[in-house]
Amino acid sequence: MDDQIRLAAFEWLEKQTIIHGDVLPRDLLETGFLFNGHKITLLGAKGIWKPKLMTFPLSITTISNGPYSDSFTNEGFLKYKYRGHDPNHPDNQGLRGMISLQKPLIYFHSIIKGKYLATWPVYIIKDNKYDLVFTVAVDDIKVVNKELEQVNEDATYYRRSYLTSNIQTRVHQRSFRERVLIAYQNQCALCKLKHIELLDAAHIIADKEDSGDPIVQNGLALCKIHHAAFDNNFIGINPDYVIKIRTDLLNETDGPMLRYGIQSLNNSRLILPADKRNWPDKTRLEIRFSAFLKAG
Domain residue spans of the chain: 2-179, 186-295
pTM here is 0.83
d(CA 143, CA 4): 19
Q: Which residues pair with 269 in a beta bridge?
A: 242
Q: Which ranges of the chain does DSSP label H, i.e. alpha helix?
A: 2-20, 26-31, 90-101, 141-146, 153-183, 224-231, 247-250, 256, 282-295
Half-sphere exposure (CA, 13 Å, Cβ side) for 73? 19
User: pLDDT value at position 70?
Assistant: 79
- Per-residue pLDDT of the chain in tens (296 residues, 90 and over written 9): 899 999 999 999 999 999 988 999 999 999 999 999 999 999 998 999 999 999 999 999 998 766 667 788 888 899 999 999 999 999 999 999 999 998 999 999 999 999 999 999 999 999 999 999 999 999 987 765 554 444 557 778 888 898 888 898 899 899 999 999 999 999 999 999 999 999 999 999 998 888 899 999 999 999 999 999 999 999 999 999 999 999 999 999 888 999 999 999 999 999 999 999 999 999 999 999 999 999 97
User: pLDDT value at position 148?
Assistant: 44
* Three-class secondary structure of residue 39 per DSSP: strand
Q: What is the dihedral of CA 159, 151, 57, 113, to 10 degrees?
A: 10
* Topology (CATH level 3) of domain 2-179: PUA domain-like (2.30.280)
User: pLDDT value at position 64?
Assistant: 75
